[in-house]
């Protein structure tokens, strides 16, 4: 069956090399297309298979696809790559990808990828790389945490925003990022030991850590993440402990959403409540964690979830449901409502991060976290993973808000 994704650069997903499904530089592009619920579910397509554990994916305005591979259970050779003509090409170049754990004292952490968690395209058309710089989700490497903008017109770094210990302290793991429509503000989650949100003024490079340790950004003690019908635990008995992880921004940029993986509740805040410090030399009292906590709204329950994204085309929130091998959608206009299953497939082992292509196609990674050496001692260090796509149906599909921001 021929694989097509309308609007994503044809050269990235078509051609004899891709359709052959041959492994090329760590990626194999497949041609499996399945609809799990004929007539209602979108078409599920495997775009690529990888030899390593993938987390992030993004698509530029011109359809270029980028992915990243964190240093979790292996010292991966490529941290950030462009998926180009079926090959993983180190991005922006080989030198930025030259860090190795064994060479920690020899390689400058400020201009190399240490342990990249996310790649996200901004409204202006460039790609940003979020590096929490904590290999194995352990100690943060000094001078390593950063948010780097790559100019896609030159394929070179345009600016680097470094995070000090007030923003990325030891125990932190900066996870995902969203950008305001005007491209001036970035919003990040920290899924580490103390959950938090981070707000970054991109013009000045100033950043502030907010809701640090707040119940809305921390793991929910009442939740046990399960997989294959039983609690997911490490060999020493520890369960999944990820704090604030998934993050989404409304298309108008006025509402920020987030939740913990070890959690069930989706929270939100007006973005203007998070940015008051940008125009004040003194942190306003309204921006203290105690004050902010009182403004947080409970949107509803998603159950344990990893990735979140709100479609620019139909206004729906897409929610990864790792316990269920599924992708769900939430109607944000229905206060207190529950997400509905959009597509479910046993091959979707830990749906992770979402991206939206210019034509509305949703791409997402499956990172197989439950199959990793964190939870299975006999698992390979290099864990095979996948990149998938779904082409949503009409805006009146189940879970749609019926709105469009084309």
Q: Are 292 and 283 in contact (CB under 8 A)?
A: no
Which pLDDT score is estimated for 93? 98
Which pLDDT score is estimated for 153? 96
Confidence band of 32 (pLDDT split at 50, 70, 90): low
Helix, strand, coil % over all residues of the chain, rounded to 5: 10, 35, 55
Q: What is the DSSP letter of 101?
A: G
CB atoms within 10 A of CB 325: 18
Most confident of 33-37, 244-248, 283-287, 389-393: 244-248
Give Cα 240 to chain centroid, integer Å. Answer: 17
Q: Are 372 and 378 in contact (CB under 8 A)?
A: no
Whose tokens are 């989700």? That residue is: 137
Is this model's pTM higher than 0.85 or not?
Answer: yes
Whose tokens are 């492994």? That residue is: 23
pLDDT at position 288 over 80: no
Q: How far apart are CA 342 and CA 78, in angstroms?
A: 32
Identify the weakest region by mean pLDDT among 58-67, 198-207, 288-297. 288-297
Q: How far apart are CA 169 and CA 324, in angstroms?
A: 33
What b/e sequence results for 278-290 when a residue is b if at least 16 CB atoms lie within 10 Å of its CB, and e otherwise? Answer: beeeeeeeebebe
Enter the tokens of residue 385: 């993973």
Q: How far apart are CA 269 and CA 292, in angstroms?
A: 8
The dihedrals phi and psi of 210, each to the nearest 5 degrees, come to: -130, 155
pLDDT at position 156 over 80: yes
- Tens of pLDDT, residue by residue over 120-153, are 999 998 999 999 999 999 999 999 999 999 999 9
Which residues are CB-neighbours of 71 under 8 A, at least 6 positions away? 79, 101, 114, 115, 135, 136
Enter the tokens of residue 262: 């070890």
Closest Cα partner for 26 from 71, 72, 73, 67? Answer: 67
- Tens of pLDDT, residue by residue over 5-24, are 333 443 344 322 232 333 33
| pLDDT, the chain, mean | 87
Q: How far apart are CA 14 and CA 85, in angstroms?
A: 8
Three-class SS state of 391: strand
Which pLDDT score is estimated for 4? 34
pLDDT at position 199 over 80: yes
Residue 323 Rama label (left phi>0; alpha psi -120 to 50; beta): alpha
- CA quadruple 207, 165, 146, 289: dihedral positive or negative? negative
Say whether the peptide bond before residue 355 is cis (omega within 30 degrees of 0).
no
Q: Taking the CA of residue 26 as centre, how many other CA atoms within 13 Å lie in the half-sphere pointing to its CB?
A: 22
* pLDDT, greater one: 259 or 285: 259
- Tens of pLDDT, residue by residue over 203-253, are 999 999 999 999 999 999 999 999 988 999 999 999 999 999 999 999 999
Whose tokens are 């046993």? That residue is: 346
Which residues are CB-neighbours of 97 under 8 A, at least 6 positions away? 77, 78, 79, 80, 90, 91, 112, 113
* pLDDT, greater one: 66 or 333: 66
Q: Taking the CA of residue 92 as centre, how many other CA atoms within 13 Å lie in the half-sphere pointing to its CB?
A: 18
Enter the tokens of residue 207: 């950043």
pLDDT at position 80 over 60: yes
Q: How far apart are CA 225 and CA 36, in angstroms?
A: 25
- Tens of pLDDT, residue by residue over 362-381, are 999 999 999 999 999 999 98
């Amino acid at each position: 069956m021929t694989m097509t994704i309308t609007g994503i650069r044809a050269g990235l997903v078509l051609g004899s090399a891709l359709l052959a499904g041959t492994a090329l530089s760590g990626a194999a592009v497949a041609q499996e297309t399945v609809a799990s619920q004929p007539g209602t579910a979108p078409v599920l397509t495997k775009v690529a298979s990888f030899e390593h554990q993938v987390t992030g994916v993004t698509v530029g305005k011109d359809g270029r696809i980028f992915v990243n591979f964190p240093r979790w259970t292996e010292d991966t050779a490529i941290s950030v790559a462009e998926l180009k003509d079926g090959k993983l090409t180190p991005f922006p170049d080989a030198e930025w990808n030259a860090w190795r754990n064994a060479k920690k004292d020899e390689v400058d952490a400020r201009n190399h990828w240490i342990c990249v968690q996310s790649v996200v395209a901004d409204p202006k058309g460039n790609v940003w790389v979020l590096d929490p710089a904590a290999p194995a989700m352990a100690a943060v490497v000094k001078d390593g945490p950063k948010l780097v903008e790559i100019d896609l017109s030159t394929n070179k770094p345009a600016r680097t925003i470094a995070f000090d210990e007030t923003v990325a302290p030891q125990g932190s793991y900066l996870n995902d990022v969203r950008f305001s429509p005007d491209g001036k503000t970035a919003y990040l989650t920290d899924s580490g030991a103390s959950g938090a949100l981070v707000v970054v003024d991109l013009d000045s490079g100033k950043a502030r850590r907010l809701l640090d340790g707040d119940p809305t950004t921390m793991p929910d003690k009442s939740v046990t993440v399960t997989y294959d019908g039983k609690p997911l635990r490490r060999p020493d008995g520890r369960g999944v402990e990820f704090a604030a992880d998934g993050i989404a921004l409304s298309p108008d940029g006025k509402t920020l959403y987030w939740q913990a993986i070890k959690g069930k509740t989706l929270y939100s805040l007006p973005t203007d409540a998070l940015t008051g410090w940008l125009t004040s030399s003194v942190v306003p009292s309204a921006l203290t964690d105690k004050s902010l906590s009182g403004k947080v709204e409970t949107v509803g329950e998603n159950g344990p979830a990893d990735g979140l994204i709100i479609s620019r085309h139909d206004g729906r929130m897409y929610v990864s449901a790792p316990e269920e091998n599924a992708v769900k959608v939430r109607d944000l206009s229905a206060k207190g409502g529950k997400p509905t299953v959009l597509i479910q497939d046993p091959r979707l082992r830990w749906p992770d991060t979402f991206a939206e292509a210019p034509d509305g196609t949703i791409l997402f990674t499956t990172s197989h976290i439950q199959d990793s050496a964190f939870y299975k001692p006999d698992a390979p260090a290099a864990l095979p993973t996948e990149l998938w796509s779904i082409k949503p149906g009409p805006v009146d599909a189940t879970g749609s808000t019926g709105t469009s921001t084309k």
